[in-house]
Amino acid sequence: MNSVVKNISWKFAERISSQTVSLFVSIILARILDPKDYGAIAMVMIFVSLANVIVDGGFSSALIQKKNADRLDFSTVFYFSLCFSVIIYLILYLCAPLIVDFYGKGYEILTPVLRVVGVQIIITSINAVQHAYVSREMMFQKFFYSTLMGTCFSAVVGIVLAYNGYGIWALVFQYLSSSVVNLISLYYITRKHPALEFSFDRLKGLLNYGIKIFATSLLVQIYMQLRSLVIGKIYSARDLAFFDRGRQFPCLIGDNINASVGAVLFPKMSKEQDNISLLKESTRKAIRMGSFIMCPLMLIFGVMSEPFVRFVLTEKWMPCVPLMQIFCIIYLFNPIHTANMQAIKALGRSDVYFKLEIIKKVIELICLLAVMQISVQAIAINMAVLTTLFTFVNAYPNRILLNYSFKEQMDDILPAVILSLITAGVVWLVVLASLPDFITLIIQFIIGIVVYITLSLLFKRNEVFYLKDLFYNSTHR
């Protein structure tokens, strides 16, 4: 367990440090740039994100899951992904005018923007193999340094260009420079390069597992981007900017914790795939610890969102507040989703993983079609309701695969939810004092931490004692 928590700590440190830098940069850029610029770049990134999933093809997960993956496997995936990414980029380059025409008049600048930012597809294909190697070897400390360097460099690029009036291009080159520096720094840190060898047999073997992961990831990504596509087409770039900004800050907290836990759990669980009792125990610990951290952060931030947006982003971004609060609910149960799905993948049951996503995405698509003409807020509420319901869906297979019942899972997360609700209620009372936003945020933050830790100690939650011991040991080496 210590090695898992240590690697989760490094992965979380990598995510939170880079995202913290990105947070401050986005705050500065949000004050300089118009919300329409953010909405416009979001329209473009819909297609780049889909292309990245297609290029990966599930090979990263296949390399991590395969027990005896060697240099030939990694080299084969590297060359295939690189060639495939070039093809996908050329298709995107040629189709850029057609994609922009879909949004209508007034977005002509998006054609060159899409062609430039699309270069990131090729960079991602190279980076994916490096990430798979580092993940497989549980070398998450290396992620920390490479990501932090890329984020800091891109922060400077974005701010300088925005300050000098480059508008949307500041966001384009901030995004690209981060990927390039991350790629270069990770290469020099790992010192791993592909061999001059390729095997179609190895490619076919990896594809047998990866194809279902790829299909699942593509399905998820299509649906995620479909919402942005609908908002950009039916409403406006400004509405899409508020939607993305409302998602950004809960995502900063939720996705960082979720991605950190998931990135470490999958390779760890893959090594335990032959020991069901050990795999179940790892899943339970991940759910307990993830919920213990995620629940208070989401609920407290939801309460703090209005003074936060007004003070940090200024009044022009206030329409994103209700969306931000809804996304806090959406991310609340992510630990249980992540742990369950990583366990299913680790067992090699990518077929179950894929079937679950098909069921969920069919339901989500039907519901999206039903609410998309109502309002952007209705789309977000629909997401929150379905995400909560899908907790049952994701937990069901492990009732059989791991003998880990839904009741056990609820017992593992409910204490954190209850303590977090009480804490959020206390934090909300600060708003009644009508203090300046900055003072309100400081008081809410301090009270939130003190109340939650006090309640956790009072009710003797094992997680708080474990984190205390971990922090003590790390500072007394």
Domain-embedded: residue 56: yes
User: Is the CB of residue 73 less than 8 Å from the CB of residue 125?
Assistant: no
pTM of structure: 0.65
pLDDT higher than threshold 70 for residue 413: yes
Cα(244)–Cα(320) distance, integer angstroms? 8
> For the ranges 4-8, 158-162, 281-285, 397-401, which has the lowest average pLDDT?
4-8
Which tens digit of pLDDT belongs to each residue from 112-134? 888 998 888 888 888 777 777 76
Domain-embedded: residue 325: no
Cα(377)–Cα(380) distance, integer angstroms? 5
What pLDDT does 474 receive? Answer: 45
Please give the full DSSP string across 198-244, using - where no structure is assigned: --HHHHHHHHHHHHHHHHHHHHHHHHHHHHHHHHHHHS-HHHHHHHH
Domain-embedded: residue 153: yes
Which region holds residue 191: left if phi is over 0, alpha if psi is between -120 and 50, else beta? left
Rounded to the nearest 5 percent, the helix, strand and coil shares of the chain are 85, 0, 15
Domain-embedded: residue 125: yes
User: Is the CB of residue 79 less than 8 Å from the CB of residue 10?
Assistant: no
Number of domains in the chain: 1
Cα(87)–Cα(98) distance, integer angstroms? 18
The DSSP code for 61 is H
pLDDT higher than threshold 80 for residue 77: no
What confidence category does residue 197 fall into, taking pLDDT thresholds of 50, 70 and 90?
A: confident
pLDDT higher than threshold 70 for residue 429: yes
Full domain range(s) for residue 36: 20-234
Structure tokens at 405: 């019942």
Mean pLDDT of 84-90: 89
Which tens digit of pLDDT belongs to each residue from 227-242? 777 887 788 778 888 8
What pLDDT does 442 receive? Answer: 92
User: Is the CB of residue 257 less than 8 Å from the CB of residue 295?
Assistant: no
Domain-embedded: residue 441: no
Which tens digit of pLDDT belongs to each residue from 154-177? 888 888 888 888 888 888 888 888
> Is pLDDT larger for residue 197 or for residue 215?
197
- Which residues fall within 8 angstroms of residue 411, CB to CB, at 6 or more apart? none
Mean pLDDT of 23-41: 75
User: Is the CB of residue 299 less than 8 Å from the CB of residue 423?
Assistant: yes
User: Is the CB of residue 290 less than 8 Å from the CB of residue 339?
Assistant: yes
Q: Which long-range contacts (CB under 8 A, 24 or more apart) does 45-49 make?
A: 45/117, 46/225, 46/228, 46/229, 46/232, 47/92, 47/99, 47/114, 47/118, 47/225, 48/92, 48/114, 48/117, 48/118, 48/120, 48/121, 49/221, 49/224, 49/225
Mean pLDDT of 416-434: 89
Which region holds residue 194: left if phi is over 0, alpha if psi is between -120 and 50, else beta? beta
Cα(235)–Cα(323) distance, integer angstroms? 15
pLDDT higher than threshold 50 for residue 284: yes
> Is pLDDT larger for residue 357 or for residue 440?
440
% of the chain exceeding 90 in pLDDT: 7
Which tens digit of pLDDT belongs to each residue from 294-309? 888 889 998 999 898 8
What pLDDT does 34 receive? Answer: 73
What is the torsional sign of CA 80, 84, 86, 87? positive
What pLDDT does 267 receive? Answer: 54
Average pLDDT of the chain, as a whole number: 77
Using DSSP, state whether 194 is helix, strand or coil.
Answer: coil
Domain-embedded: residue 471: no
User: Is the CB of residue 253 less than 8 Å from the CB of residue 301?
Assistant: yes
What confidence category does residue 446 fall into, taking pLDDT thresholds of 50, 70 and 90?
A: very high
Which tens digit of pLDDT belongs to each residue from 302-348? 899 989 888 888 788 888 899 999 998 888 877 777 777 777 766 66
Domain-embedded: residue 265: no
Domain-embedded: residue 264: no
Cα(431)–Cα(443) distance, integer angstroms? 10
